[in-house]
Amino acid sequence: MPMPFAVLVSGGGSNLQSILDKIDAGLLDAEVRVVLSNKAGAFGLERARRRGIAAVVLPHTDFATRQDFDAEMIRVIHAHGVNADTGAVVLAGFMRMLTPEFLHAFAGRVVNIHPALLPSFAGTHGAADAAAYGVRLAGCSVHFVDEIMDHGPVIIQAAVPALPGEGGEALAARILKLEHCIYPQALAWLAQGRLTIAERHVHIRGAAPVSLGDESLPYLASPGLEPGFCPAAAQGS
């Protein structure tokens, strides 16, 4: 049975789209049951509506406390058949910290993508911060979520070269392309029951150690992306 997902967005939802595309391609055995946003204008909601997926707006400013807001999110997510036993909560550009109560409700089943090689450049502007710092390698990380921002056990990371003179926006755009490869891949492993965690270390059953991109999309991913998750990887390069 496809794994039920609740996807939380605050913005454009390009990562949500990459997840939907990989579901359509038969690479990710999951079903997005509901897309939730704290921002009414988030384009991610529109992407959901276009596919007939429930799109729910919960403005956080309507709630007196963070706990109240998260309690309502838990209620809505459960009401759409997503729970910690069989489903997952997928953060895709969701710009709110989650309470311990929320994380407890979906223990071990909340994942996030971050546009930097954690633990470097945690926070809201990971890619721009990396560019401003002058790193030579940047990238993105998919991780389980714990109570500390951008901190939980890492599932997969991909590195890209940061080009001399490149601004934060250009670097973030190249990283975003890779996010669209590694996030569906990590979720596919989760949905296949291939992930186990021991003391922060995520073991992925049967994963290749690395995969490499090509000149059109240079990257190093660890563990390796499986065929179909990235154009370059699909070409076997």
Q: Which residues are catalytic?
A: 114
Rounded to 5°, the CA angle 189-157-108 comes to 50
CB 202 within 8 A of CB 187: no
Report the nearest approach of ligand GRF to the CB of residue 50 (Å): 15
Question: What is the DSSP-derived secondary structure letter of residue 200?
Answer: T
Sole binder of ligand GRF in the list 34, 55, 92, 158 (CB under 6 A): 92
Scanning residues 157 to 176, which ones bind ligand GRF (CB under 6 A)? 176
Report the nearest approach of ligand GRF to the CB of residue 10 (Å): 7
Q: Which is nearer to ligand GRF, 71 or 170 (CB)?
A: 170
Q: Which is nearer to ligand GRF, 181 or 206 (CB)?
A: 181
Binding mask 110-129 for ligand GRF (x = CB under 6 A): ---xxx--------------
Report the nearest approach of ligand GRF to the CB of residue 16 (Å): 6
Q: Where are the alpha helices (DSSP H) in the chain?
A: 14-24, 43-50, 66-79, 100-105, 126-133, 168-191, 231-234
3-state secondary structure of 156: strand
Structure tokens at 76: 């809505």
Report the nearest approach of ligand GRF to the CB of residue 13 (Å): 5
The DSSP line for 38-64 is: S-TT-HHHHHHHHTT-EEEE--GGGSS
Tell me if 145 contacts ligand GRF by CB under 6 A: no
> Binding segment for ligand GRF among 69-77, 107-115, 152-160, 229-237 (CB under 6 A)?
107-115
Distances (CA, A) of 120 to 124, 139, 198, 229, 236: 12, 10, 22, 25, 30
> Binding segment for ligand GRF among 13-21, 61-69, 158-166, 196-204 (CB under 6 A)?
13-21
Structure tokens at 109: 């089943």
Report the nearest approach of ligand GRF to the CB of residue 12 (Å): 4
Q: Which is nearer to ligand GRF, 78 or 146 (CB)?
A: 146
Handedness of CA 159, 209, 6, 217 (dihedral sign): positive
Tell me if 39 contacts ligand GRF by CB under 6 A: no
Interface positions with ligand GRF (CB under 6 A): 9, 11-15, 44, 92-93, 113-115, 176, 179
